[in-house]
């Protein structure tokens, strides 16, 4: 009976690719936000439910795909790490650009001292 209700609804939705999975009693969980970690946690508390897969961000994932996605850091954490890495680049670039001239100046100063030392020793 549930499949008879779900089939027409799924056939007209972006989830129509999931129709082959609805062959017996199925439970369809829907969330406005992709929360793979929370989904797996909830399913651990309901051993009678078997996760076949999920559609997250318009991508069909297997159970293994959902488990892999749950292991990834959150979007907020990834964005913070990316912003931190990008903020270091200008200071590192500036430092690298300053090292060359500073090293050249030090080498030229040392060379000039040696030349003065030689010319003072020759007189």
Task: Write the pLDDT tens digit of every residue in 49-67.
Answer: 888 888 888 888 888 999 9
Determine the pLDDT at residue 51.
Answer: 86
Determine the pLDDT at residue 83.
Answer: 92
Is the pLDDT at 47 greater than 90, yes or no?
no
Please state, in angstroms and as integers, the Cα–Cα distance from residue 42 to each residue in 38, 62, 66, 71, 96, following that order.
Answer: 6, 17, 13, 16, 50
Place 1 in a pLDDT band, splitting at 50, 70 and 90: low
Determine the pLDDT at residue 119.
Answer: 81
Domain boundaries along the sequence of the chain: 2-71, 74-123
Residue pair 23/54 in contact by the 8 Å Cβ criterion: no
Determine the pLDDT at residue 3.
Answer: 66
CATH architecture of residue range(s) 2-71: 2-Layer Sandwich (3.30)
Question: Is-above-0.85 flag for pTM?
Answer: no
């Amino acid at each position: 009976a549930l499949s008879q209700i779900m089939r027409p609804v799924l056939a007209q939705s972006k989830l129509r690719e999931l129709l082959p999975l609805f062959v017996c009693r199925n439970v369809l969980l829907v969330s406005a936000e992709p929360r793979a970690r929370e989904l797996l946690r909830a399913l651990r508390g309901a051993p009678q439910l078997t996760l076949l897969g999920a559609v997250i961000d318009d991508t069909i994932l297997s159970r293994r795909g959902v488990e892999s996605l749950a292991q990834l850091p959150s979007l907020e954490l990834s964005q913070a790490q990316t912003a931190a890495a990008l903020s270091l680049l200008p200071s590192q670039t500036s430092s690298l650009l300053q090292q060359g001239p500073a090293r050249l100046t030090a080498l030229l100063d040392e060379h000039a001292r040696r030349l003065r030392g030689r010319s003072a020793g020759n007189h």
